[in-house]
C-alpha cells in the first residue's frame, strides 16, 4: 500500500473517530412490548415485529441524540406504542394481512426520558410523555414516506426538535 493511500485511510479513520466522540448518545429501553396498544404486523411474527420496531425507532432516537453535545446521554423508556394504521382483519391468499392507514388510526407513543450531561447530571426529564401525530397522513406525501415506521419516526423527530434541541441553545 502506498503512502498516499495510507494517509487517506488514516485521515478517514481520524474523522470517523472524531465524529463518534463528539456526538451524544441514546439508550432506549422497550418496557413490556407485548402489552403495547398496537404493534401488530400482518406479515411478521410478533418477535420479529418487535425487533423491527426497536431497530427502526431506536435508531431514530440514536440519530437524534447524535446532535447533542459530546458525552450527553438521552435515556428513553418506552411504555406504550400504537403504530399508525390498523392491521386489516381480512386475510389474503398468502395468509398475510395489511396495515390500513386512516386518520382515525394515528401513531401514539408513551415514554419516560432523562437527558444527562457529560458529568451524568440530569438536565431534564419527564415520565409518561405522550406524543402523537393526528395529522400524520398529511406528511405521508413526503419523499421519505416509503420508509418503514415513517409516521412514528417523524413523530419522534418532532418531539425531539420541540422539547430537547431548544434547550441545548
The whole-number average pLDDT for the span 76-86 is 92
**Listed residue (37, 89, 25) closest to 62, CA to CA:** 25
3-state secondary structure of 156: helix
Q: Please give the residue that has the higher pLDDT: either 167 or 51.
A: 51
In whole angstroms, give the CA distance from residue 101 to residue 136.
Answer: 10
The whole-number average pLDDT for the span 113-130 is 96
Lowest mean pLDDT among 12-21, 40-49, 94-103, 146-155: 12-21
Amino acid at each position: 500500500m502506498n503512502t498516499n493511500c495510507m494517509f487517506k485511510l488514516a485521515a478517514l479513520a481520524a474523522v470517523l473517530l472524531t465524529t463518534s466522540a463528539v456526538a451524544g448518545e441514546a439508550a432506549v429501553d422497550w418496557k413490556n412490548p407485548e402489552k403495547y396498544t398496537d404493534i401488530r404486523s400482518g406479515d411478521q411474527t410478533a418477535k420479529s415485529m418487535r425487533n423491527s420496531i426497536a431497530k427502526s425507532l431506536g435508531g431514530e432516537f440514536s440519530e437524534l441524540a447524535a446532535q447533542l453535545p459530546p458525552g450527553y446521554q438521552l435515556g428513553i423508556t418506552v411504555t406504550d406504542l400504537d403504530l399508525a394504521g390498523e392491521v386489516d382483519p381480512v386475510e389474503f391468499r398468502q395468509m398475510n394481512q395489511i396495515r390500513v392507514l386512516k386518520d382515525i388510526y394515528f401513531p401514539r407513543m408513551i415514554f419516560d426520558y432523562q437527558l444527562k450531561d457529560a458529568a451524568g447530571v440530569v438536565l431534564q426529564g419527564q415520565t409518561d410523555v405522550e406524543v402523537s401525530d393526528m395529522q400524520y397522513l398529511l406528511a405521508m406525501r413526503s419523499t421519505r414516506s416509503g420508509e418503514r415506521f415513517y409516521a412514528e419516526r417523524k413523530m419522534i423527530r418532532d418531539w425531539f426538535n420541540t422539547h430537547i434541541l431548544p434547550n441545548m441553545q
